[in-house]
Each structure stands twice: as C-alpha cells, then as structure tokens.
Amino acid sequence: MSALDLPANRHCSVARSLELLGQKWNLLLLREAFFGRTRFAQFRRIGIPPATLGARLDALVDAGLMQRRQYRDPGERTREEYLLTDAGRDALSVLAALGSWGDAHRPLPDGPSIEYRTSDGTRAHLAFVDDDGRVLDRTDVHPQPTPAYTRR
C-alpha cells in the first residue's frame, strides 16, 4: 500500500512530491542533470546499479521531469541522452533546501558543496518571502494545513 492511500497523505502535496522525488536516487540524478550531465554513463557515477538507473530515468521521463534526445558519437550507434524539462528544473528549490539543511547541520570540512548563481554571477540562496518579495524571518514561518488538506 502506498502512503498516498491514506487520508493523511492523499491530500498533501508534500506526500505527492515525495512519491516521485523521495524515491532513492532521483534527487541525486536531478543534481547530476543540473550539473550538465546527460548520459547514462555519466549518471552511473552516483553509484546507482545500471538496471536501477534505466528504471529511474524511465520514471523521470514518464513523470515529465526529463526528456530524451538522440545523439550519435562518431563511429558509434545512436544513443539517447536525458535532459531536464521545465518541471525537472522546478525541483531546484528541493535540492537547494536539502543542501542548505546539510550545510547547516551536516557541515563538510571544506564548506558548502554546491553554490547557486544567476547567469551574471549573483549568488542566490533560498528564503521565505512575503507576496511583495520581502524576506521573512524563517523562524517565524509556520505551515498550516488548508481546508483542501483537512477536508476529507
């Protein structure tokens, strides 16, 4: 039984995201894709068994986070590579939130492992903001279930 079968989770967008993004390897594959890796052999570096890698890439394509594109190296057969879609790129804030938590609470001796920059080099980080774009004190932000979640 999936956790999504329960009322506590069925109406929850966190649980719905986790069903896909919470599957082992998927966020690490997205990380690699954000770093510009596109090919099966490149994705293998995260330590995923080849059969699992094929299944995960298929699932990410089916879910609309990646798309296939054919390529052909000189003297080789045609192969497929995997590119992020807009929906896949939208998962960047999930990676950034996980990375930021890790940097704060599982710090590495050499400092943060990933940084976020705009194309002109501006450093970026995640923050809670209000509807006018003002940064809020995140210790004063509280999640609340909406009627969509509590109505069953």
Specify whether the CB–CB gap between 2 and 19 falls below 8 A: yes
Contact window for its own copies (CB under 8 A) among 4-12, 51-59, 73-81? 4-12
Q: Give the integer Cα–Cα distance in Å for 116 and 150.
A: 36
Instruction: Collapse the DSSP code of 122 into the 3-class scheme (helix H, G, I; strand E, B; otherwise coil) and give the result.
Output: coil
Give the binding range for its own copies (CB under 8 A) out of 51-59, 70-78, 115-123. Answer: 115-123
Using CB under 8 A as the binding rule, the residues of this chain from 120 to 139 that contact its own copies are: 122-131, 133-139
* Binding residue count for its own copies, defined by CB under 8 A: 88
Query: Which region, judged by CB under 8 A, interacts with its own copies, from 3-11, 51-59, 66-74, 76-84?
Result: 3-11
At 35, the amino acid letter reads F
Q: Looking at 51, 74, 119, 152, which residue binds its own copies (CB under 8 A)? A: 119
Evaluate whether 81 touches 38 at the Cβ level (below 8 Å). yes
Report the alpha-carbon distance of residue 59 to residue 53 in Å, rounded: 10
Tell which positions 6-65 bind its own copies, by CB under 8 A. 6, 8-9, 11-18, 20-22, 24-25, 27-28, 31-32, 34-35, 45-48, 64
For residue 152, state whether it binds its own copies (rule: CB under 8 A). Answer: no
Q: Are 69 and 81 in contact (CB under 8 A)?
A: yes
Positions in 54-93 near its own copies (CB under 8 A): 64, 87, 89-93
Residue 86: CB minimum distance to its own copies, A = 8
Dihedral-angle region of residue 111 (phi above 0 means left; psi in -120 to 50 means alpha; beta otherwise)? left
Least separation, in Å, of the C-beta of 70 and its own copies?
Answer: 25
Residue type present at position 3? A
